[in-house]
Structure 1
């Protein structure tokens, strides 16, 4: 667009008005009184200054967030919060670190002392814990057992303890794996005092942070933890995603499956009742899984990265 010509007297007046408005933060009425013009004249001068290229308004943001893509993703999925880390990295460890940092900043920002924070278990949540430096003093509740993996430094108990310690809130945790060999063992563990206490406390969790796995294509710690035969059976039943071990179909509905009876943690109904569920998700392969979790109402906010955000929106 060609810049509009502006005379020297008008240039000085426009620059003076723009400086007072944009840099000094003064109101249009104050500026109008100073220069003896109407506030409508002030508005026209500000508009003319931008049209002439005299004033350039730039919205900048600190850090490495793509604010435009974040806003677009939030609107498209109807999310409460969408945070997109502006990175084209494909290395899972680097993505986890960046998403964990952004997730920790979001949790630190929105959680108050009136909240009860629930934590699932995932590698991205370990990265969040490692990056967090502050939290309001609130209870922190373990929502699931953990999967033992050699590539993860820290258990679900340490995760809850460390995050709670940041704010001085009470940690609620238990010693149990996420997946056990059979439903009988799971039933016994769920009745253990510490496990039962956490699962009861989950009823008052106001904000939860969870991981999210894809089953088609497979990109999930739960998928990794079960046998090939179980994977095939669950895929046949329609499982396409998991949120903290909760198995979901492509339409976001929970899938009744034998594996669900062997999981230690909150169930689909409990997760669905939590007002704010923040998913930390990485890898473009998880696009369909994210859409399923949001469609089913199991995720209300998302922290992700550029490639996955674009894939969710149907872009390459």
Structure 2
């Protein structure tokens, strides 16, 4: 582009985007044809002179989504803006995007396997009544709370199912047992075994991830102490998925703890046709990177900063 065309394209863009002039009006002002004005506007956008930002909370970052799909091999990616928000507001924005995605998912899953936690509870609240016709929901990991603060597992499953005019099948077990013998006895129970079988054959999965620190839902629910989580971090844990702590490569960090954890195995998520991970916030960058890197989801719903952290991680790995 010549210097004259560059200056004209900037002036045309100013008139079009800041003065709200039509292309015909710009043509009259600059003494150009309407066709020439359209070409200048296109050149201005292609040259990076124009930056358009959609600031609605439900707006998505489509270029970042496209890069995530291309670079990581995800079948789909949904990325919301992180600009100006953090904490609970960012989690709410991401949960809304997950609810929107779930509502538009085709084919509609007949059975949806879900985990539990603060993020999925938020998703259940954002889903509209009648979001799908007759989806049955099944818990894929234990969620009977050990205290009153985080007892959302059953409520989450029931809410998602009722809003889809379906039924909820709950897993009547804590997430983690103190003794292996107790866990084996519970999973040997016919009713519990039936729920786990249903979970392994679900049409799609929806889960989130927990950070490996004192703010983990597993700590909040009374399953683990902060000291136990610190020990898991020392062993390489970056977070948990369906109650199972993984390292940066998606491997289980504590086999003994994992054996006492009730729920489907991680390999089931890796083999799934549709496994939707909903993850937001800077404290979950490491676990989000591990999940994508190790193929634990096919769809990622996240925020822009987390998406960029995943892309940067992939670039580092590719250049090493």
- Same fold flag (TM > 0.5): yes
CA distance in 1 between partners of 2:43 and 2:312 (Å): 36
| Aligned 1:64-103 pairs, distance under 5 A | 64-88=59-83, 91-103=86-98
Cα distance change of structure 1 residues 148 and 50 upon mapping to structure 2, 3 Å threshold? farther
Which structure has the larger Rg over C-alpha atoms?
A: 1
Cα distance change of structure 1 residues 131 and 227 upon mapping to structure 2, 3 Å threshold? same
Please give the TM-score of this superposition, normalised by the length of structure 2.
0.74
Indicate the residue corresponding to 2:161 in structure 1: 164
Which aligned segments of 4 or more residues in structure 1 are displaced greater than 6 angstroms? 54-62
Q: Which runs of 5+ in 2 are unaligned?
A: 1-5, 10-22, 25-32, 46-51, 314-320
CA distance in 1 between partners of 2:219 and 2:165 (Å): 35
Q: 1:244 aligns with which of 228, 242, 245?
A: 242
Q: Is the 8 A contact 2:91 2:281 kept in 1?
A: no
Q: Which runs of 5+ in 1 are unaligned?
A: 5-13, 16-44
Indicate the residue corresponding to 2:295 in structure 1: 297
Indicate the residue corresponding to 2:19 in structure 1: none
CA distance in 2 between partners of 1:241 and 1:108 (Å): 28
Indicate the residue corresponding to 2:119 in structure 1: 124
More deviation, 235-244/57-66: 57-66
Q: Is the 8 A contact 2:65 2:79 kept in 1?
A: yes
Cα distance change of structure 1 residues 46 and 184 upon mapping to structure 2, 3 Å threshold? farther
1:198 aligns with 2:195: yes
1:307 aligns with 2:305: yes
Indicate the residue corresponding to 2:179 in structure 1: 182
CA distance in 2 between partners of 1:297 and 1:61 (Å): 31
CA distance in 1 between partners of 2:186 and 2:299 (Å): 31
Cα distance change of structure 1 residues 56 and 156 upon mapping to structure 2, 3 Å threshold? same
Where 1:251 maps in the other structure, the secondary structure is coil
Q: Is the 8 A contact 1:176 1:264 kept in 2?
A: yes
Cα distance change of structure 1 residues 52 and 211 upon mapping to structure 2, 3 Å threshold? closer
Shift of 1:54: 9.2
In the alignment of these two chains, the number of paired residues is 277
Q: Is the 8 A contact 2:140 2:171 kept in 1?
A: no
| Aligned 1:1-316 pairs, distance under 5 A | 1-3=6-8, 50-53=38-41, 63-88=58-83, 91-113=86-108, 115-133=110-128, 134-146=131-143, 147-148=145-146, 150-152=148-150, 155-215=152-212, 220-222=216-218, 225-314=223-312
Q: Is the 8 A contact 1:108 1:136 kept in 2?
A: no
Cα distance change of structure 1 residues 46 and 196 upon mapping to structure 2, 3 Å threshold? farther
CA distance in 2 between partners of 1:235 and 1:54 (Å): 51
Please give the TM-score of this superposition, normalised by the length of structure 1.
0.75
Cα distance change of structure 1 residues 54 and 163 upon mapping to structure 2, 3 Å threshold? closer
Q: Is the 8 A contact 1:111 1:136 kept in 2?
A: no
